[in-house]
Amino acid sequence: MIRYFNKFINYLGLALAYMRFNLRAQLEYRQAFISQVVAMFVNDAFWVVFWCLFFTKFPVVRGWTSKDVITLWAINAAGYGIAFSFFRNVNNIPYLIARGQLDSWMLYPRALLPHLLVGTMSATAIGDAIFGYAVYGFFIRPDIPHMLLFVLLSFGVALVFVSFSILVGSLSFYLGNVEALGDQMRGALVAFSTYPASIFDGAIKLILFSFLPAGFVGYLPAQALRELSFIPVLEVFAGGFVMSCVATFVFYYGLSRYESGSLMEMRG
């Protein structure tokens, strides 16, 4: 048990070192970094404006109000931001597999998947994370329990986003290059999870809690925050845990089929 705990602490140290390094690399182009963060913030704000316009005309959509949709957007953006600002490399998995470029990562004396994930960071995702927390704080004006629950849920949502991206990316081991498919799947996940969940029912709702886990990044967190209930929180983390186990299995099982690209590569 202590061994696993030490391993976890050791990994946290590695992740922090990568974060520091990646952030410094981003700040080398300070103007570009700031403009990307601000632009992503504004980009998300446009969506909130759209929903405000929509709800001005139609105040309630099957029990969902503008406040619920803003919460939905905030938790989505915060979770997405955390996931991809620190684990941006997850989106490169199909690319690395298809071009046989996992070799350089396999040479390190580290567990492959967690090490690979922290390899790069995204400036725009930082804008998403800032947007999520700022919008929830500014528009919803939560009390302390709601804010703490929001912070907790944002990490659960991030876990689902990262796990889903690993799962989709790992399909490259079996299907060849799935970069386009991965983009579409992630796009679909975000699209389904940023609309009021009450508009979906029947078989689609089943899909949103299984193959395309939009229910875990949208509906359940929004429900938890609306009702200040812990059961949906547990469901979010349970969903994220199951998905991360499946994704890890699919990745390592697929790794046995991996073929090197025999590529000479330097990593700085």
Partner 1 sequence: MIASLRKYYWIALMAARTNLAYVGEVAARSVFLAILLYIYLRLWTITYAQSNATRLGDLSLEQMLWYLVATQSIYMSTPKVAQNLDQDVRTGTLAVQLVRPLSFPLYYLWNALGERSVRFGITFLVGSIVALILVGPAPLTVPGYLLLLAALPFAFCLDFLGYFLVGLGAFWLEDTSGVLLIYQKSVMLAGGLLIPMELFPDSIKPIVQALPFSSIVYGPAHLFVHPDLAELGNLLLKQGVAICGFTVCVWFVWTLAVKRVHAMGG
Residues that bind partner 1 (CB under 8 A): 29, 31-32, 35-36, 38-40, 42-43, 46, 49-50, 53-54, 56-58, 60-62, 124, 180, 184, 187-188, 191-192, 195-196, 198-200
Closest distance of CB 10 from partner 1, Å: 35
Q: Which is nearer to partner 1, 196 or 239 (CB)?
A: 196
Q: Distance (Å, rounded) from C-alpha 208 to C-alpha 214?
A: 5
Closest distance of CB 36 from partner 1, Å: 5
Are the CB atoms for 112 and 118 separated by under 8 Å? no
Q: Which is nearer to partner 1, 60 or 106 (CB)?
A: 60
Q: Which is nearer to partner 1, 64 or 251 (CB)?
A: 64
Q: Which is nearer to partner 1, 52 or 245 (CB)?
A: 52
Q: Which is nearer to partner 1, 76 or 116 (CB)?
A: 76
Closest distance of CB 209 from partner 1, Å: 16
Closest distance of CB 204 from partner 1, Å: 8
Closest distance of CB 200 from partner 1, Å: 6
